Amino acid sequence: MTIKHLRIFVAVCEHGSTTKASKELFIVQPTISHTITELEKYYNVPLFERINQRLILTEIGGELYKKAKEILADFDEFESLAFSHERNPRVKIGASLTLGQTLIPKFLEIIEKEKYDILPQVLIRQSTRIEREIEESNLDFGVISGNFNSTSIVGHAISHEKFVAVCHMDYDIPNSLTFEELISYPLLIREHGSSSRDFLEKLLSDKNMKISPLMDSSNNQAIVTAICSNLGVGFLPKNYVSEYIEKKILKEITITDVVANQTNYLIIHKNKKLNPLQQQAFNIIKNLNQTI
């Protein structure tokens, strides 16, 4: 079996069709089909079920797909490193939404200012998506807010992030409230699945409380816009809203009975081997020692 076999297998897995895979790889469709049959015969395992002219991965096929992705990623890293004297490989970095708006710009500023030979490619998504992309070897490493769940990922704590309750300066609300009093106001918060929402839900769970937010959003800026429109109270990382507080557009509400701090992590697959430029980028982020 060769790398070519694995590339064809992965392409068919991702497209669910030998025809679509042939178009992506510029290989005639009969060759694609023959390669899949060859793999199944060689290893004596059913990789796909044929249903309504679509190829559906079997359970073992799904496991082998994950392993094939890892092997191809390692091979691509090998070639990237081998050819690094001719071209600079891109460093693929993931970031959760808030850190993508706060930490990543600082990282990119350092890369530009110090003229590092690094070509970063950044994916900004929910923390759970960043974890998944690292598991599937689509990212070299990532930065996320809050805990990670995958046992195949290791993390390095890089900073602590304070969450604050904020509202418009003219909003009718006391400057100091208990957590229970705070959640009685119209809440403007992040969507389920975001690290910010997960953190808020944990605080609620610890106090056996529930909420019915006025608005939840996948975008921090949309929440800030709603807060500035005097629609309610937001719960956001202080680093994200500090400029609004300093300019007296928003005011911070003191929560008297909750310490709302969360840890940010630099995460990487436990089996990932970084090439020199990837390691350099990893170290820059790790050493930022950002306190949010």
Contact 121, 89 (CB under 8 A): no
Q: Which pLDDT does position 166 carry in this prediction? A: 96
Same domain flag for 204 and 233: yes
Residue 184 falls within a domain, yes or no?
yes
Residue 291 falls within a domain, yes or no?
no
Same domain flag for 23 and 35: yes
Q: What is the DSSP letter of 109?
A: H
Same domain flag for 41 and 58: yes
Same domain flag for 148 and 201: no
Residue range of the domain that includes 103 = 90-158+263-286
**Residue 85 phi, psi (nearest 5):** -75, -15
Last residue of a domain, one of 37, 58, 82: 82
pLDDT band with cut points at 50, 70 and 90 for residue 105 = very high
> Does the structure show a pLDDT above 80 at 191?
yes
Contact 46, 61 (CB under 8 A): yes
Last residue of a domain, one of 82, 99, 127: 82
Q: Helix, strand or coil for residue 98?
A: helix
Q: Which pLDDT does position 197 carry in this prediction? A: 87
CATH number for the domain that contains residue 98: 3.40.190.10
The residue among 119, 137, 118 whose CA lies nearest residue 65 is 137
Residue 238 falls within a domain, yes or no?
yes
> Which has more confidence, 217 or 89?
217
> Does the structure show a pLDDT above 60 at 292?
no
Q: What is the full DSSP assignment across 26-47?
A: T--HHHHHHHHHHHHHHHT---
Q: Which pLDDT does position 86 carry in this prediction? A: 46
Residue 116 falls within a domain, yes or no?
yes
Same domain flag for 127 and 269: yes
Express each pLDDT in 11-60 by its tens digit. 999 988 888 888 888 899 999 999 999 999 999 999 998 887 778 889 99
> Which pairing describes strands 187-190 and 233-237: parallel, antiparallel, or unpaired?
parallel
Same domain flag for 40 and 100: no
> Which has more confidence, 288 or 174?
174
pLDDT band with cut points at 50, 70 and 90 for residue 283 = very high
> Does the structure show a pLDDT above 90 at 133?
yes
Residue 239 falls within a domain, yes or no?
yes
Q: Helix, strand or coil for residue 258?
A: coil
Same domain flag for 130 and 274: yes
Express each pLDDT in 230-248 by its tens digit. 999 999 989 889 999 999 9
Residue 292 falls within a domain, yes or no?
no
Two tokens at 49?
């079920």
d(CA 140, CA 90): 10
Q: Which pLDDT does position 98 carry in this prediction? A: 84
Residue 16 falls within a domain, yes or no?
yes
CATH number for the domain that contains residue 7: 1.10.10.10
Same domain flag for 99 and 141: yes
Q: Helix, strand or coil for residue 87?
A: coil
Which of 63-67, 76-80, 175-179, 271-275 has the least mean pLDDT? 76-80
Same domain flag for 172 and 244: yes
d(CA 166, CA 173): 10
Q: Who contacts 177 (Cβ-Cβ below 8 Å, separation ≥6)?
A: 165, 253, 254, 255, 256
Same domain flag for 201 and 281: no
- Work out the mean pLDDT of the chain and round it to a whole number: 89
Q: Who contacts 230 (Cβ-Cβ below 8 Å, separation ≥6)?
A: 167, 168, 170, 171
Rg for the chain (alpha carbons), in Å?
24
Which of 84-93, 135-144, 195-204 has the least mean pLDDT? 84-93
List, in sequence order, every residue forming a beta bridge with 50; answer none if it has no partner.
55
Same domain flag for 189 and 235: yes
Contact 241, 224 (CB under 8 A): yes
Average pLDDT over residues 82-88: 56
Tally of domains in the chain: 3
> Does the structure show a pLDDT above 70 at 291?
no
State percent of the chain over pLDDT 90: 59
Same domain flag for 240 and 211: yes
Q: Helix, strand or coil for residue 68?
A: helix
Average pLDDT over residues 259-287: 91
pTM of the model: 0.58
Residue 222 falls within a domain, yes or no?
yes
Express each pLDDT in 207-226 by its tens digit. 999 999 999 998 889 999 99
Q: Who contacts 141 (Cβ-Cβ below 8 Å, separation ≥6)?
A: 93, 94, 134, 266, 267, 268, 272, 274, 278, 282
